[in-house]
Amino acid sequence: KLNEIHRTATFAWGPGQQPPIIAAGTVSGALDDSFSNASELELFQLDLTNTQSGQGLASAGKVSTNSRFNTLAWGHATPEKPFGVIVGGMESGELELWDPSAILDNQSSDACLISRNSTHTGTLRGLDFSPLQSNLLASAGSNNEVYIWDLSTPNKPYTPGARSNKLDDITSVAWNNQVAHILATSSTTGYTVVWDLRSRKEVMSLAYGGQNSGSGGSRRGTSSVSWHPDVATQLVAASEDDSSPVITLWDLRHAHSPEKTLTGHQKGVMGVSWCRQDADLLMSCSKDCKTLCWNPRSGELLGELSQSTNWTFQAEWCPRNPDLLASASFDGKINVFSLQGSSNDETAASSEEQQQQQATSDDPFAGISAAATPQTPSFALKQPPKWLRKPVGASFGFGGKLV
């Protein structure tokens, strides 16, 4: 663990070439310890040279918002706008575009707000920028609504096709990483629907009933969907149902059943994130307060990254530096981790020792406090990630020649 942000917030990593920045928006449906009803969008610059601060990261800029956030996306970085655009899916159903450069300059909320749109008629739950065409944004939410936005003309969204009868409230949306016109959405009905924007129609629907699904055809809600970074026909979907907290890996070439089913969470899975630089690394977070790392190719559980005292509802890889990842939970923290670990392990160990000493003191509440504090999990990769492996082999031959 490198550092933390003391906010109950949904977050997004900055897409540009600048040092890592995290945008955090006050999440809807939750209160922090101060019972504040403030709604804010804040930016935090990750200082990798200082990982010993117990106060967490300090805000580098913030603005007040009219409502709280259900989801955040950050993308569309260009030479003209190196910090890109932050998009917020608000609990009011509005889609808001913010200028991160103006937020870092501590300008007013009106100066930072680029636009506000109320095309969605219900709650907005999913946002995703296209990795192949950064000007395209997909948004999805309740009432089976999916819209595609071109940020060059953000006031004219269009739909991917006729509304699917397999979907109800949509929980997430994801662009294919290899084919620019393919999109996937997950829903509370348990179905994941794949869309083709060229033909403007639904091309496939996926659903996993689980081992206990009977003849009634009951479906468990799907909370999140993510495409394989390299293989255009593969995706993962996460089940939010506590009785079947699984992650299913699908291949669209034979989609009658999932290729693999990843089991390891004790309660419903709330989010998945696939590392774009190494397809053998998949992260998931759950109502069991854990953040787990998987190898989806082998189906192996690699280890536990973190454990909080409340639901962990979001986990994301840093797009610029894949060694960095973050998770957000309802205990009021966004934790930032490194796959290679940090010197904070010793700090965590000393903190646990202090808590044990407090538990043996005369304070009758000390034991309760210590028991409520999650144990620091251990995690180590069995092989180096793809970006640290040798890209080529070389050998010196006779005469000083390099082959």
Q: pLDDT tens-digit profile of 75-90?
A: 999 988 999 999 999 9
Distances 311 to 22, 63, 270, 289, 333 between C-alpha atoms, Å:
20, 26, 9, 5, 11
Length reported for the chain: 403
pLDDT of residue 38: 80
| Cα 379 from Cα 102, distance rounded (Å) | 38
pLDDT-derived band of residue 47, with 50, 70 and 90 as boundaries?
confident
Q: Using the CB atoms, write b or e for 119-147: b if 16+ within 10 Å.
A: ebeebbbbbbbbbeebbbbbbbbbebbbb
**Domain positions in the chain:** 3-351, 352-389
On the question of pLDDT at 387 being above 60, the answer is: yes
On the question of pLDDT at 376 being above 80, the answer is: no
pLDDT-derived band of residue 363, with 50, 70 and 90 as boundaries?
low
On the question of pLDDT at 48 being above 80, the answer is: no
| Cα 26 from Cα 32, distance rounded (Å) | 10
Distances 292 to 224, 238, 266, 383 between C-alpha atoms, Å:
15, 13, 12, 17
pLDDT tens sequence across 147-164: 999 998 888 999 999 988
pLDDT tens sequence across 300-315: 999 998 888 899 999 9
Q: Identify the CA nearest to 137 among candidates 127, 152, 125.
A: 127
Strands of 255-362, DSSP E? 260-263, 269-274, 282-286, 290-295, 300-307, 312-317, 324-329, 333-338
CATH of domain 3-351: 2.130.10.10
Q: From the CB of residue 191, how many other CB atoms can be counted at a distance below 10 Å?
A: 21
pLDDT, averaged across the chain: 86
Over residues 240-254, mean pLDDT: 94
pLDDT of residue 375: 54
Q: Identify the CA nearest to 294 among candidates 306, 304, 286.
A: 304
pLDDT tens sequence across 208-241: 876 554 334 455 799 999 999 999 999 999 999 9
pLDDT-derived band of residue 362, with 50, 70 and 90 as boundaries?
low
Distances 396 to 391, 399, 401, 402 between C-alpha atoms, Å:
17, 9, 6, 5
- Give 9: exposed, middle or buried? Use CB within 10 Å, 0-12, 13-18, 19+: buried
DSSP secondary structure code for residue 158 in this structure: B
Q: Residue 166, SS3?
A: coil
Sheet-wide strand order for 3-5: 3-5, 333-338, 324-329, 312-317
- Give 303: exposed, middle or buried? Use CB within 10 Å, 0-12, 13-18, 19+: middle
DSSP secondary structure code for residue 386 in this structure: G
| Cα 391 from Cα 112, distance rounded (Å) | 43
Over residues 109-123, mean pLDDT: 94
Q: What are phi and psi of 140, to 5 degrees?
A: -150, 155
